[in-house]
Structure 1
Amino acid sequence: MTPLKKETKRIHRYCNEDLQQALIDIRKKGRGVRETCRKYGIPRTTVQDRLSGKMCDDMKQKGPDPILGIEGEKRVEDWLLNITRRGFPIKKQDLLETVQKIMKVHKIKNPFKNDCPGKSWYLKFLKRHPHIALCRVEGINKAKAPVTEQSIRTWFDELETFLAESNNQSILECPERIFNGDECGFSLCPKSGDVLLPRRFRNPRKVKPGNEKNILTIFITVNANSQVCPPLVVLPHVRPPRAVVDSLPEHWCLGKSDSGVTRSDVFFEYITNDFINWVDRNCIQKPILLLLDSHRSHMSLHLSTICEQNGIILYATPPNTSHTLQPVNVSIFEPMKSSWPSVVGNFLSKPENVNSRLNKTKFCQMFRDILEDSSMDATIKNGFRQCGLFPFNQDAVDYTKCDKKTTYVYVSNYLQNSLKNESNDPLCTSEDITNGDIVSTRKVINCLRAKLNEKRIDVDVILEELRELETQINIQNNNSEMESDRLVDYSSTIKMDIELYDWHQDIEIKQCKTE
Structure 2
Amino acid sequence: MASDDGEYRVTGCIGQGAFGKVVLLENSAGDQTLRDRISGRVDPNNFTTETIFTEDEELRLVEHTEDSARLGYGFSNTAMQQMAGELAHHLGKRATDKPLSNCWLYGFLKRWESRISTLKPSALDSNRAKHSTPEIVAKYFDNLEVAIAEYGLQERPDCIYNLDETGISPEHRPPNIIAPIKEKAQAVTSPRSATTTLIACASASGHHLPPYFVFKGKRSNDNLSKELTPGAVVTMSETGWSTTATFKDYLENHFLKYVNRGDGSQPVLLLLDGHSTHTSQEMVKWARDRHIHLFCLPAHTSHVLQPLDVGVFGPFKRFYYSECASYMKANQGKIVTKYEIAGIACKAYLKALCHWNIVSAFRKTGVHPLNKNAVPMEKLLPCESFRDETPMLKMQSIRAGKEAVDEYLRAKSESTSTTAPCKCKCGKQNPTTPKPKPGGKLLTSDAYIEALEIYDAQKKTKAPSSSRTNLPQTSPKQSTSGLIINRTDNSESESDIDDTEVCCVCERFTPINVDKRPHLKIVNWGQCDECGHWVHLGFCHAMSVLRRGYSFLCPHCS
TM class by smaller structure: 0.3 to 0.5
Bigger Rg, which one: 1
TM (normalized to structure 2)? 0.44
Under a length normalisation based on structure 1, what TM-score does the superposition of the two structures give?
Answer: 0.48
Q: Which has the higher strand share?
A: 2
